[in-house]
Structure 1
Amino acid sequence: MAAKELLAQLHEVAANPRKQLDKYLAEGKKVVAVTYYTPQEIVHSMGLVPMGVWGADMEINEAKKYYPAFICSIMQTILELGIKGEYKGISAIIIPSLCDSLKTLGQNWKYAVKDIPFIPMTYPQNRKPDFGIKFTKAGYERVINDLTVATGAHFSEFALSESIKVYNEHNAAMRAFSEAAANADITAAERSDVFKSAWFMLPEEHTAIVKKLTAELLAGPKSTRTARVLVSGILADAPGLLKIFDDNGIQIVADDVADETRQYRTDTPEMDNPVDALAQKFANMDNCTLLYDKEKKRVDYIVEQAKAHDAKGIIVLMTKFCDPEEFDYVPIKRACEKAGLMNLNIEVDRQMVNYEQAATMIQAFKEML
């Protein structure tokens, strides 16, 4: 199957998550909503389908009753969709406690969306010491118990070990795709579809398609775009913004985006107990605004990745009212200037409908590159 056909297949999934949800429900499967760094391997091992929730580009009405205006629009739109019944049929939602906004989402969900059980996943700030790893494991054990209550599904260590293999294979496939896409004739919108569709498909199904696509990209024509950039942020999936990237011939050669490659950097190690292995995986994770790091190693990581992929600049898509991302931008900007890399900061929001200012900024940025 040609690359364009495979990309069209993934675009259909990325653009129609409700259709994908209905498909799994029609097959008799139970679906659990997941988001940032939730233990999808556990959900998968219990015979359930993990599906991502990252909000949507939409107007917020009902969620305003629970949130002030000055909070991340991703949280607001997730709650808005829940209140409006867009997640009807989902058996539970797992929400981690990685930032203040996520904490409030979980508490608001309990009161606003009573028909879908909320399962908390509480992570430690100090994830690397032994006590942090034990804390993470205890959180996973609670998730297992809550999933059993919410869905009636059963847990086994053997099944989790098998699911960990499935997810490690998917991680490798996504990393390979990202490397292939760096130099391939693929648009920013098409690249986004590959990552976004991963949130709405079983990993084994997605892996099979992505492996074929990567092979096609490696064998196919190479990009002639010279405006090579690394993109960083929480989300980079807004169609209006991606169109501006493509209209200006921007080639995304790497990313540091929360719902894209950040999810696939770290594999679960082999250990006797698979729950211990998952806890160790979380301890091994780094280079993310939501993971405590007093040394800010993420800043150097971004610059290193940009240089390794021959990027000429870095575009930071700053989610409005995202305090962790905002705190990191100043050191990122300084590091870029020191490394001789152009950098651009664009504020994005799930409620944005007009991207004229972003278009002007990206056009000028391209010309400066």
Structure 2
Amino acid sequence: MSNLKEKLQAFHEIASSPKEQLKKYLEQNKKVVICAPVYTPEEIVHAMGIIPFGTWGADIEIKEAKTYFPAFICSVMQSVLELGIRGDFDGASAIIIPSLCDSLKCLGENWKSSVENIPFIPMVYPQNRKADFGKAFTKAGYERVIADLEKATGLSFDDAKLTESIEIYNEHNAVMRQLSDCLSDYPEITAADRSAIFKSAFYLEKSEHTALVKGLLSELTNTEKTANNKIKIVTTGILADAADLLKIFDDNNMQIVADNVAGESRQYQVDAKPAETSLDSLAGKFAEMDNCSVLFNVDKAIAQYTVDLVAKYQARGVIFVMTKFCDPEEFDYVIIKKACAEKNIPLLLIEIDRQMTNYEQVRTAVETFKEILK
């Protein structure tokens, strides 16, 4: 058990100290590019010998970013800009920001005005991504990102190197999917532990993180399984990494057996498949991405996907962790609620943001939900 705790502690240390991780790479004379959510093409960055360094903001007080954003906008975007203004990303060669929602579009434009020492590189994705013209549009977007990266870093792009990076990322995807399945059998892994494993992936070069996860999987296979008396739940939403929220889950004996959270398992649903070029492979990967509030799907498959997760992992209910002021999530909540009701699956809606300091209302809601699930 001590070895298991040590391996879990490694994930916690990385997840809780992104600034220190960034400093470590910079001290190794490695170039770093910040990758904002969601679905930034990290493989391209990696292929150029650059460290892709993810950010989903932080639970911090917003001060300077208020000058650029209204109060009624996603706090993830506000806190990413706040981190940039206050210098947490200093030393990075650039930041790539996709444009999959209105808030992300605003973030990119505001970044240009407020963080002048770190160039902004836009990644414009199509919503009609599955047709051939959508894939061509995505590929053209990748080509622009490459040109901007070459300008910002002085490094060059090689399609063969991208093939290698895709293999590294596909392996990481597979390992993370395996891990998610495995963790459902180990109730001693807390919600906080699970979150740290997923969160740490954004701050490590992917082969480094893969090695850590493989070590954890090996340790788990040598750990005797115990009786599971926890309440199994599925989480869905954009982000669910707040320490206070995770503690509430753990305090109420809840186990996250699966998730469809954008900052967690949703990242690893689709692998890049062989294509004419590596860029075509990446464009095909994005075309297949789904079950996400910021990705257009006329059939709203995210609802059925959520219900299927409950059935597959024999969960007792769903907790929808909604990011405050996230319009795409608000639209999807209605159809997910309807799908759960049709299957008699209990559903709890929790609304959070990066500036929350008091989680007592959330605690009361979860405690009530717990009684319903018993």
**Shorter-chain TM-score range:** over 0.9
- What letter corresponds to residue 34 of structure 1 in structure 2? C
Offset, 1:223 = 5.6
Name the CA distance, whole Å, in 2 between partners of 1:253 and 1:222.
15
Q: Which residue does the alignment assign to 2:332?
A: 328
Q: String of CA shifts for 1:95-130, please: whole Å, max 9, x gaps.
A: 000000000000000001010000000001100111
Q: Which residue does the alignment assign to 1:31?
A: 32
Name the CA distance, whole Å, in 2 between partners of 1:112 and 1:59.
17
Report SS of the residue matched to 1:199.
Answer: helix
Offset, 1:86 = 1.0
Q: Which residue does the alignment assign to 2:101?
A: 99
Report SS of the residue matched to 1:120.
Answer: strand
Name the CA distance, whole Å, in 1 between partners of 2:20 and 2:85.
19
* Contact persistence 1:24–1:31 (CA under 8 A): yes
* Contact persistence 1:317–1:347 (CA under 8 A): yes
* Contact persistence 1:225–1:250 (CA under 8 A): no
Q: How does 1:250-261 map to 2 (within 5 A)?
A: 250-261=254-265
Q: How does 1:1-369 map to 2 (within 5 A)?
A: 2-35=3-36, 36-184=38-186, 185-220=188-223, 221-222=225-226, 224-369=228-373
Name the CA distance, whole Å, in 1 between partners of 2:229 and 2:7.
22
Percent identity for Structure 1 against Structure 2? 57
Q: String of CA shifts for 1:238-275, please: whole Å, max 9, x gaps.
A: 00111111111110000010010110000000123100
Name the CA distance, whole Å, in 1 between partners of 2:111 and 2:199.
23
Name the CA distance, whole Å, in 2 between partners of 1:292 and 1:224.
38
Report SS of the residue matched to 2:257.
Answer: strand
Name the CA distance, whole Å, in 2 between partners of 1:95 and 1:284.
20
- What letter corresponds to residue 43 of structure 2 in structure 1? E
Name the CA distance, whole Å, in 1 between partners of 2:217 and 2:110.
41
After superposition, the CA RMSD in angstroms is 1.0
- What letter corresponds to residue 187 of structure 1 in structure 2? T
Name the CA distance, whole Å, in 2 between partners of 1:155 and 1:166.
17
Name the CA distance, whole Å, in 2 between partners of 1:111 and 1:223.
55
Q: 1:231 to 1:154 in 2, by over 3 A?
A: same
Q: 1:79 to 1:208 in 2, by over 3 A?
A: same
- What letter corresponds to residue 307 of structure 1 in structure 2? A
- What letter corresponds to residue 111 of structure 1 in structure 2? S
Name the CA distance, whole Å, in 2 between partners of 1:40 and 1:223.
39
Runs of 4+ more than 6 Å apart: none
Name the CA distance, whole Å, in 1 between partners of 2:297 and 2:229.
35
Report SS of the residue matched to 1:224.
Answer: coil
TM-score normalized by the length of structure 1: 0.99
The total of aligned residue pairs comes to 369
Report SS of the residue matched to 1:212.
Answer: helix
Q: Unpaired segments of 5 or more residues in structure 1?
A: none
- What letter corresponds to residue 204 of structure 1 in structure 2? S
* Contact persistence 1:95–1:118 (CA under 8 A): yes
Name the CA distance, whole Å, in 2 between partners of 1:13 and 1:2.
17
- What letter corresponds to residue 264 of structure 1 in structure 2? Y
Name the CA distance, whole Å, in 2 between partners of 1:153 and 1:110.
22
Offset, 1:224 = 2.1
Report SS of the residue matched to 2:203.
Answer: coil
Q: Unpaired segments of 5 or more residues in structure 2?
A: none
Q: String of CA shifts for 1:66-103, please: whole Å, max 9, x gaps.
A: 11100000000100111111111111000000000000
Name the CA distance, whole Å, in 1 between partners of 2:121 and 2:207.
25
TM-score normalized by the length of structure 2: 0.97
Q: String of CA shifts for 1:298-341, please: whole Å, max 9, x gaps.
A: 10001001110000000000100000000000111111111111
Name the CA distance, whole Å, in 1 between partners of 2:341 and 2:220.
33
